Amino acid sequence: MTPETCARRALGDRPEGLAHRLGLGLFPELCVVCGRPVAIRDRYRDICPACVTRLPWRLPSEMSIPLVSSSLLGLFSAKDYRDARQQRLIVPFHYEETTRRLLRQLKFHDAEEYAHVFAGPMADALRLVLYSRLERERGRRPGRRLAGALDSALVLPVPLSAGRRRERGYNQAERIARPLAALLGLPLIETALWRRRETGRQTQLDNTGRLANMRGAFAASPEICSGATFLLVDDIATSGLTLYEAGSTLRAAGARDVLFVVAASPSRPESLPSGARHVYADALFRAH
Ligand SMILES: [Zn+2]
């Protein structure tokens, strides 16, 4: 924990709290990567511009990827396949050493400054992808629909099971979703979706097992979902199966549209040489 964080906690102060509003400035933000002070004018909070440039950014053309990994799509029914193929995941970063370290800090130490590092780039990636698509597809319905969807979306973190949440004390997806919602000027809602059961670690399962394990894992509130558009938020997406299942549950409960955004996603096995795929899969599911 940085001295700044200690001090903030001791004072019960959050950035939007009293000391911040009074501009006391006793504790300048420190970069979570290199520890140097971060100037207030910097674009992203809690990280300095030099470290921002060294993060494993995706190219703009790689910030919108298929929601579900193609290695799993082949196992879907014809209807689910058609449905899943149309869905896109928006993601600003590759899942590499730096992003892995920062996301683990967030996951296991509940340090909110790590959430800020991701929320800003996620908001930018959403705007970049959805509005540039709007430009490209000017006059065509899908672009208009997606950009319009973001304007009216409810921000929804992917829920943990009740047991896991109790054990950890918080949901890391919610930690990212909250500043993201503030940056986008959208409401955050946590009660629309919940886990019906613990799905456990998927490490030991093959693709068919993972699919069966996730099916029916979520339940959603028809009262909240009816006619609503959601921006579903998580920290990491690997196969995309968790997000797909959560999104399908929301739509089955009446949601009109679901957009998907995560902080980081590893390169998918289909984009690697075949010899590297086992290594990828092992590393991936151990890390998760
Ligand atoms: Zn730095």
Per-residue model confidence as pLDDT tens digits over 247-258: 999 999 999 999
Amino acid identity for residue 267 in this structure: S
In a domain, 55, yes or no: no
Q: Please, how many CA atoms are within 13 Å of residue 7, restricted to the half-sphere of its CB?
A: 13
In a domain, 191, yes or no: yes
Does residue 234 sit within a domain?
yes
Interatomic CA distance for residues 255 and 168, integer angstroms = 29
Report yes or no on 83 lying in a domain.
yes
pLDDT at 131 (0 to 100) = 79
Pairwise pLDDT comparison (273 vs 251), residue with the higher score:
251
> In the block, which residue shows the tokens 């006391």?
24
pLDDT tops 60 at residue 274:
no
Instruction: Output the CA 251–ligand 1 centroid distance in Å.
Output: 41
**202 located within any domain:** yes
Tell me the average pLDDT across 126-141: 67
CATH number at residue 236: 3.40.50
Q: Residue 142: pLDDT above 90?
A: no
Q: How far is the CA of 4 from the centre of ligand 1 (A)?
A: 15
Q: How far is the CA of 119 from the centre of ligand 1 (A)?
A: 17
Ligand 1 centroid to 1 CA: how many Å? Answer: 16
Least confident interval from 81-90, 105-114, 218-227: 105-114
Q: How far is the CA of 114 from the centre of ligand 1 (A)?
A: 12
Is the model's pLDDT at 200 over the cut of 50? yes
Q: Are 94 and 265 in contact (CB under 8 A)?
A: yes
- Domain with 260 in it: 60-287
- Within-domain flag for 231: yes
* Structural domains counted in the chain: 1
Residue 9's contacts (CB-CB under 8 Å, 6 or more residues apart) are none
| Domain-located, residue 16 | no
Find the 20 Cα to ligand 1 centroid distance in Å.
Answer: 21
Cα-to-centroid distance, 73 and ligand 1 (Å) = 39
pLDDT digits over 56-70, tens only?
999 988 899 999 988
Enter the pTM of the model: 0.81
CA of 117 to the centre of ligand 1 (A): 11
Question: For the chain, what percent of residues have pLDDT higher than 70?
Answer: 76
Give the 3-state secondary structure of 82-135: HHHHCCEEECCEECCHHHHHHHHHHHHHCCHHHHHHHHHHHHHHHHHHHHHHHH
Pick 164 or 189 by higher pLDDT: 189
